[in-house]
Structure formats: C-alpha cells, structure tokens
C-alpha cells in the first residue's frame, strides 16, 4: 500500500462518485491506470462498497439511538447479531468490551416505533437493553484515513 493508493481511497471516501478521469487528474495518473488501481482496491477488499449518505431526519426516520445489549442468560449461545440482523431499523452492530456485549445503532420514525423495536430485540435475542437517544448529529461518517 503506498501513497497513490491512499490518495485514491481518500478521494473516493470523500466523493464516491468521482470519475476515473478526475481521479487521474488528482493523482497524476492516466485514467486507465487509476481505473486498474481502483478495481484492485475493490478486489483486495480495501474498498468495501459505495453508498449515498441520506438525510434520515428528512426521510421520516428522525430518531437515532444507540442500544447497548446484554444477554439475560450468559450461558446461552451468543448469536445476537444473527438474531437481530433482520430488523431493518438496525444500521450498525458492534460487539464491544465492557459492561455490555453489543452496541446497535438504530433509526426509527417515532419514540413509539423505537419502543416497539426494543421489545422485539429483547424477545428475539433474549437480552436486556439500555438505550441512548441521539439529540443531534454534528457529523457522521466523516472520511477517516491514515497518512
């Protein structure tokens, strides 16, 4: 991994629709050289995909919350991520060190929808939940790269 590839990754993280022509201009490479590098970065899994960042507040999902979960019965198989993966309100799922086993980031339309989702998560995964509601988002998913 060297400087040119890192520059390409940084540019694509900031603008996922940038054309190969523009990436070439920005890196001093020809269009086809950049193209080859991007395909290789995709194949090696360094680029995992491309997405549009949506304005969830305007799209009917104004409520963002973090749900910390803890198994009720620590002796049971610990397959919470699979058990909850079908809930489309869950945007992210991490296992974490500390008092809780997992943290979920969820988006719902209303407090009532969040209440309903929490009940479903608890019964699907046999867990207790501790929820932290986001009041406002200052920034989210800024590109973070090394170098």
Partner DNA sequence: ATTGAAACTTTGTTGAA
Partner DNA sequence: TTCAACAAAGTTTCAAT
User: Residues 68-97: x/- map of binding to a copy of itself (CB under 8 A)?
Assistant: -------------x---x--xxxxxxxxxx
Give dist(CA 104, CA 147) in Å, integer.
30
CB of residue 51 to a copy of itself, shortest distance in Å: 5
CB of residue 49 to a copy of itself, shortest distance in Å: 5
CB of residue 24 to a copy of itself, shortest distance in Å: 16
Give dist(CA 88, CA 94) in Å, integer.
16
Judged by beta carbon, residue 29 or residue 121, the one nearer DNA is: 29
Cα distance from N-terminal residue to C-terminal residue, the chain: 11
CB of residue 60 to DNA, shortest distance in Å: 19
Q: Is 50 in the site for a copy of itself (CB under 8 A)?
A: yes
Encoded tokens for 39: 């395909």
For DNA, the binding residues in 6-45 under the rule CB under 7 A are 19-22, 29-33, 35-37, 39
C-beta separation of 67 from 121 below 8 A? yes
Taken in order 39, 43, 47, 51, the sign of the CA dihedral is positive
Q: Which does 32 bind (CB under 5 to 8 A by kind): a copy of itself, DNA, none?
A: DNA
Residue with tokens 């590839």: 5
User: Residues 110-129: x/- map of binding to a copy of itself (CB under 8 A)?
Assistant: --------------------
**In b/e form, how buried is each residue of 50-78, taking b as 16+ CB within 10 angstroms?**
eeeeeebeeeebebbbebbbebeeeeeee
């Amino acid at each position: 991994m060297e400087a040119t590839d890192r520059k390409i990754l940084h540019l694509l993280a900031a603008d996922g629709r940038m054309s190969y022509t523009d990436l070439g201009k920005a890196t001093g490479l020809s269009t086809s050289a950049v193209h080859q590098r991007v395909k290789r970065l995709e194949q090696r899994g360094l680029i995992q995909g491309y997405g549009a960042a949506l304005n969830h507040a305007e799209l009917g999902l104004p409520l963002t919350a973090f749900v910390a979960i803890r198994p009720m019965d620590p002796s049971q198989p610990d397959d919470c991520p699979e058990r909850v993966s079908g809930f489309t309100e869950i945007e992210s799922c991490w296992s974490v060190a500390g008092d809780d086993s997992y943290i979920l980031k969820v988006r719902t339309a209303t407090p009532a929808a969040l209440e309903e989702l929490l009940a479903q998560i608890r019964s699907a995964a046999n867990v207790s939940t501790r929820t932290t509601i986001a009041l406002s988002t200052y920034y989210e998913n800024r590109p973070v790269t090394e170098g």
